[in-house]
Chains A and B, each alone.
Chain A
Amino acid sequence: MATSRSEPPSLRKDETTSGVRRPPFGRLLIANRGEIAVRIIRACRELGIESVATYSDADADALHTRAADRSERIGPAPAAESYLSIDAVIAAARRSGAEAIHPGYGFLSENADFARAVEAAGLVFVGPPPATLESLGDKLAARRSVSAAGVPIVPGLLVPLVADDGGSVSPGDVAEVGFPALLKAAAGGGGRGMRRVEDVAGIEGALAGARREALAAFGDGTLYLERLIAPARHVEVQLLGDRHGNLAVLGERECSVQRRHQKLVEESPSPAVTPDLRSQLAESARRVAGTVAFHSAATVEFLVDADGGHYFLEMNTRLQVEHGVTELVTGLDLVAWQIRVAAGEVLPPSVLEATPRGHAIEARIYAEDPHGGFAPVSGTVTTWCMPEGPGIRVDAGVTADTPLPGAYDPLLAKLMVHAEDRPAAVARLQRALAETAIGGVQTDLSFLRWLVDELGFRAGAYDTGIVESTWQNGPSLSAEERSLAATVARWARAQAPSAPGMPNDGAVAPPSAWQLQARREAVDRRRPR
């Protein structure tokens, strides 16, 4: 497959001189939704590939469904019957005549059975071989093989806490992990199924909830225990490999701004990584990749402790939400390269020797209430005003008037900035956030605006505890904010026509269109130039 797809060098040269590259595939199906589906559609368009979106009933009018060249319904709203249904996705690929499937992140992206089903259907899976997904999907097996390759791992169990036969690990082994510890799902990451436990006795109470969450998210409730390293920074290394054994190490991303073990803000390079640590991380990441047969995009996640020691956490063999940060500093299109290496292309020196330039930061915009424990909210996005200008990139899955189905991940968009250095990037993010306005639902925008002013963040001196220790539910409204909100609301009501059945609110007649226009002009005149 790989060799049959790569073209003779002479042909490639012709294509380059004509300015048109032969598309790696004719048609590609995207087994995902939201902003990442839109991201992949854009890559397809640039590569000359026809994109096929998949959608559940809840997403019939979603942005990704409308943005693709064609779209296929794959089932009702619950993810288990649509985006997680291997049969439905394969059937949609067959119907649409797609040659390849890009799984995005989450959903089926790291599901070995899915990758195998894709290949069995004669299609190309944009990702690593199924066997690789299998061995890395089991975080416990990965811990064992990575440790054997000489890469430091977080101290803890190498076997499940509760075995398949119902038996459990000996109390001695559990005590040896050290406390506080983290209960983790063997089948996945993203904070799902993860619980902090203070001592051996605390495991009992956390077990059932963690197990249920892991089962719901990954279909596998196997848990293990790892020592909690705190304070720690979460640093990950981006890898890109082809089917011919070439591997590019594309620098690191700092992902320590988290709530519930889920990332909110990422940046590259990490303000905590020295040149020496950077080469250690790159070497460890290469060793981790060497434990498996690997191609496509992957991320090796590490914890870095206060002394600069690093510990392998996990390897994700898929696109990460935060891949755009690396794209900005390297100038590479990781999604396009994933698709091209899937078709058998060889990574050129421009990728293998890419040197990061400047500093990039990503802020994730979630439909959730940062003043109420970051609980997800549902509703309809009524207003959607995104920033523009130099060094700004927005990857969004919604527009104005988008209802949020409430059944999926509440990520709405990713706001990314790129600048010469970190202070310039922070200033640019601050400017971009001030230009951003979203109506209809509460988002984490208020948190993000607070964060770019926070001293620890500005100095680059923060760890994974930053949200919990310094934000909590955020500062209460200041007198100035209350007064400003009151000013805007009073003005808006005065501008609004009276509601029917409420003549004049017991006040004056509503202003005519002429009066409103005159008032607008008067206000414009008052505005300083």
Chain B
Amino acid sequence: MTDYEPSIDGEPVEPTASWVPTWIDREQGLVRVGDGEQMEIAVVEGAGTDWVVTLRGRRIPVAVRTWRERVLAEAESASRGHDGPIEVRATLPGLVVAVAVREGDDVSQGATLLTLEAMKMQNEVRSPRSGRVAGIAVEAGQAVAAGAPLLRIE
């Protein structure tokens, strides 16, 4: 096998040699993975370097790179820097019920930014990382589509 290097959340992960995957249904990405004693049914989706493995019901994003792809990706992220602005987007279509922050506010990771009502339930949109709020694109009472930009964290 080509020397692929899997990583999760940017951390390299050593695969387990004793667990052997086999296809149950390749079309559906359905995989049986077992070590002779235990067996799990997993789902694998993806292409190229980006994969998602659903294991025990949980979706786990895994990057699978050759060393060359890894070096290129590291070089790119080093030149971009880790503190670039992040666009916070709506994951679902819904209604902005309340905006909890104002432009220029310092927020920490996990802080509530705004409340979005989707599927008749109120969901809090939290900050993906610490930073400063810039460019709030919505206001309370506004309907937003899935993927619509809400605000930016710098």
Residues of A within 8 A of B (CB): 192, 209, 212-213, 216-217, 260, 371, 373, 375-378, 382-385, 400, 406-410, 433-440, 442-449, 474, 477, 480-494, 496, 499, 502, 505-508, 520, 523-524, 526-528
Give the CA-CA distance A499 to B4 in the complex, in Å.
15
Give the CA-CA distance A488 to B3 in the complex, in Å.
14
Q: B93 touches which one: A192, A406, A480 (CB < 8 A)?
A: A406
Cβ contacts B112-123/A at 8 Å (1 or 0 each): 000101111111
Can you name 14 extra interface pairs (CB under 8 A) apart from A216-B120, A490-B62?
Answer: A216-B117, A376-B123, A437-B43, A445-B56, A445-B58, A447-B57, A480-B16, A481-B56, A482-B60, A484-B19, A486-B6, A489-B6, A489-B51, A490-B1
Chain A residues, Cβ within 8 Å of B15: 483, 486-487, 490-491
Whether A213 contacts B21 in the complex (CB less than 8 A), given A377-B91, A437-B41, comes out as no
Give the CA-CA distance A371 to B1 in the complex, in Å.
34
Q: Are A383 and B43 in contact (CB under 8 A)?
A: yes
Whether A499 contacts B14 in the complex (CB less than 8 A), given A385-B30, A435-B41, comes out as no
Give the CA-CA distance A160 to B10 in the complex, in Å.
54
Closest to B67 in A: A506
Chain B residues, Cβ within 8 Å of A216: 117, 120
For residues 36 through 83 of chain B, which have their beta carbon under 8 Å from a beta carbon of chain A? 36, 40-49, 51, 53-60, 62, 64, 66, 68-69
Chain A residues, Cβ within 8 Å of B49: 493
Chain A residues, Cβ within 8 Å of B51: 489, 492-493
Give the CA-CA distance A528 to B37 in the complex, in Å.
9
Give the CA-CA distance A93 to B60 in the complex, in Å.
46
Give the CA-CA distance A506 to B66 in the complex, in Å.
8
Whether A499 contacts B69 in the complex (CB less than 8 A), given A376-B123, A434-B41, A445-B57, comes out as no
Whether A489 contacts B92 in the complex (CB less than 8 A), given A409-B119, A439-B28, A527-B20, comes out as no
Q: Are B122 and A442 in contact (CB under 8 A)?
A: no
Chain B residues, Cβ within 8 Å of A410: 119
Residues of B within 8 A of A (CB): 1-4, 6-8, 13-16, 19-25, 28-31, 33-34, 36, 40-49, 51, 53-60, 62, 64, 66, 68-69, 91-93, 97-98, 115, 117-124, 146
Q: Are A505 and B69 in contact (CB under 8 A)?
A: yes
Of B60, B92, B118, B121, the most chain A CB neighbours within 10 A belong to B121
Tell me if B's interface is mostly helix, strand, loop or mixed: strand
Q: Are A496 and B57 in contact (CB under 8 A)?
A: no
Give the CA-CA distance A175 to B124 in the complex, in Å.
30
Of A217, A400, A440, A447, the most chain B CB neighbours within 10 A belong to A440
Chain B residues, Cβ within 8 Å of A492: 21, 29, 31, 44, 46, 51, 53, 64
Tell me how far the C-beta of A414 lies from the nearest C-beta in chain B, rounded to whole angstroms. 16
* 8 nearest A-B pairs in the assembled complex, by CB-CB distance: A445-B57, A439-B43, A446-B57, A486-B6, A489-B62, A446-B58, A486-B13, A507-B2
Q: Are A506 and B69 in contact (CB under 8 A)?
A: yes
Whether A481 contacts B54 in the complex (CB less than 8 A), given A488-B31, A489-B44, comes out as no
Q: Are B118 and A376 in contact (CB under 8 A)?
A: yes
Give the CA-CA distance A523 to B7 in the complex, in Å.
24
Chain B residues, Cβ within 8 Å of A528: 36
Q: B118 touches which one: A371, A406, A446, A483 (CB < 8 A)?
A: A406
Q: Return 10 A-B CB contacts under 8 Å, by A number.
A: A371-B58, A382-B28, A444-B57, A484-B42, A484-B53, A488-B53, A491-B1, A492-B21, A494-B1, A494-B4
Q: Are B119 and A485 in contact (CB under 8 A)?
A: no
Q: A483 touches which one: B14, B45, B47, B146 (CB < 8 A)?
A: B14
Chain A residues, Cβ within 8 Å of B20: 523, 526-527
Closest to B13 in A: A486
Chain B residues, Cβ within 8 Å of A373: 123-124
Give the CA-CA distance A433 to B51 in the complex, in Å.
23
Q: Are A485 and B66 in contact (CB under 8 A)?
A: no
Tell me how far the C-beta of B50 lies from the nearest C-beta in chain A, rounded to whole angstroms. 9
Q: Are A487 and B33 in contact (CB under 8 A)?
A: yes
Whether A377 contacts B58 in the complex (CB less than 8 A), given A213-B117, A410-B119, A523-B22, comes out as no
Closest to B59 in A: A442
Whether A484 contacts B57 in the complex (CB less than 8 A), given A435-B41, A520-B23, comes out as no
Chain B residues, Cβ within 8 Å of A212: 97, 117
Chain B residues, Cβ within 8 Å of A494: 1-2, 4
Q: Are B28 and A449 in contact (CB under 8 A)?
A: no
Tell me how far the C-beta of A379 lies from the nearest C-beta in chain B, rounded to whole angstroms. 9
Tell me how far the C-beta of A426 lies from the nearest C-beta in chain B, rounded to whole angstroms. 17
Q: Are B60 and A481 in contact (CB under 8 A)?
A: yes
Closest to A523 in B: B22
Tell me how far the C-beta of A396 lies from the nearest C-beta in chain B, rounded to whole angstroms. 15
Q: A209 touches which one: B46, B54, B122 (CB < 8 A)?
A: B122
Q: Are B45 and A376 in contact (CB under 8 A)?
A: no
Chain B residues, Cβ within 8 Å of A447: 57
Closest to A480 in B: B16
Q: Are A446 and B56 in contact (CB under 8 A)?
A: yes
Give the CA-CA distance A353 to B67 in the complex, in Å.
70
Tell me how far the C-beta of B144 lies from the nearest C-beta in chain A, rounded to whole angstroms. 12
Chain A residues, Cβ within 8 Å of B40: 434, 484
Give the CA-CA distance A112 to B79 in the complex, in Å.
64
Closest to A367 in B: B119
Chain A residues, Cβ within 8 Å of B58: 371, 442, 445-446, 474, 477, 481
